[in-house]
Amino acid sequence: MSATMTEENSKASTRPSLLSRPMGVLAINVAAVVAGIALWAAVTTQGVVGLPTPLAVAHQAVIQAQNGLLWSDAAASLGRVFSGFALGIAVAIPVGFLMGWYRTARGIIEPYVQFFRTIPPLAIIPLAIVTMGIDETPKIFVIFLASFLSSVIATYQGVVNVDKTLINAARVLGANDFAIFRRVIVPASLPYIMVGVRIGLGSSWATVVAAELIAAQSGLGFRMQQAQLYYDLPTIFVSLIAIGVLGLIMDRIVITLDNTMTAWQEKL
């Protein structure tokens, strides 16, 4: 009898729970969003806070979608974020590997990285305007800087935290430095790198609004600034929600890539 109960308990423990199923997680996500919107509607309809109702924001979103402003602003912001983010990640990953693999490179690069990490990317905007003008270059540069500084440390930590037993085992088996780097260091660092990519993506979206204050003529941040002048709260909310939705979609894409590239890793 006890053996049968133990076997049943073992099967139950290995059975995927609701939270471990993709559809179960999706259902919880949808329920959380619906509950949030309902709470928003309740507090704004009763006049508890001076914010627009969900219906007012939805109506403004429809107007902007019909006249094309929402799509053009979203495309402009998305293009800037993607350009700066892609450049930042492309530079951060090799620099992080250099810092982690070579002590000399670490000694040269790390002081500069740590120095600029203490300076908010937004503080670079005046310098970027003076040196790069007011076109797209300074906007992309400050986004690049935000994503680079957020990602390079994660990559560096991924390299230095690789289990030394794996490296020693590879050396015993006759692997040279290049083989160890390619077959041990890179795969073992991928979870850290992908965390850095996600943080860099969030930093890019957090910076785009301020970046679009640099003489922009389009973009979600630019639209929010214009709406602020006329106290147009529904338009501000539309831009905020658009930024959140675009950022969420890009983050889910990164998570999918992470799950594919680190399928070997045990995860909860």
Do residue 133 and residue 169 come from a single domain? yes
Global pTM value: 0.81
Do residue 83 and residue 11 come from a single domain? no
Which residues span the domain enclosing 197?
A: 52-261
Q: Tell whether 266 is covered by a domain.
A: no
Q: Tell whether 5 is covered by a domain.
A: yes
Q: How far is residue 34's CA from residue 55's CA, in Å, rounded to a whole number? A: 14
Do residue 43 and residue 173 come from a single domain? no
3-state helix/strand/coil string of 209-239: HHHCCCCCCCCHHHHHHHHHHCCCHHHHHHH
Do residue 97 and residue 16 come from a single domain? no
Do residue 103 and residue 145 come from a single domain? yes
Do residue 47 and residue 93 come from a single domain? no
**Domain finish residue from 36, 51, 66:** 51
Who wins on pLDDT, 84 or 178? Answer: 84
How many alpha carbons lie under 13 Å from residue 92 in its C-beta half-sphere?
Answer: 33
**Domain finish residue from 30, 51, 72:** 51
pLDDT in tens, 120-164: 877 888 888 888 877 888 889 999 999 998 899 999 988 888 888
Do residue 19 and residue 119 come from a single domain? no
Q: Tell whether 268 is covered by a domain.
A: no
pLDDT in tens, 218-268: 889 889 888 888 888 999 999 999 999 999 999 999 988 888 887 777 666
Do residue 200 and residue 124 come from a single domain? yes
Q: Residue 161 is part of a domain; what is its CATH number?
A: 1.10.3720.10
Do residue 59 and residue 126 come from a single domain? yes
Domain count within the chain? 2
**Domain finish residue from 51, 67, 83:** 51
Structure tokens at 165: 């037993």
Do residue 221 and residue 152 come from a single domain? yes
pLDDT in tens, 33-87: 888 888 888 888 776 667 888 899 999 999 999 999 999 999 999 999 999 999 9
In 10 A of CB 210, how many CB atoms?
Answer: 18
Of 172, 168, 184, 175, residue with least CA distance to 97? 184
**139-162 burial, b if ≥16 CB within 10 A, otherwise e?**
bbbbbbbbbbbbbbbbbbbbbeeb
Q: Tell whether 267 is covered by a domain.
A: no
In this structure, are residues 209 and 243 in contact, taking their beta carbons and an 8 Å threshold? Answer: yes
The residue type of 219 is G
How many alpha carbons lie under 13 Å from residue 229 in its C-beta half-sphere?
Answer: 5
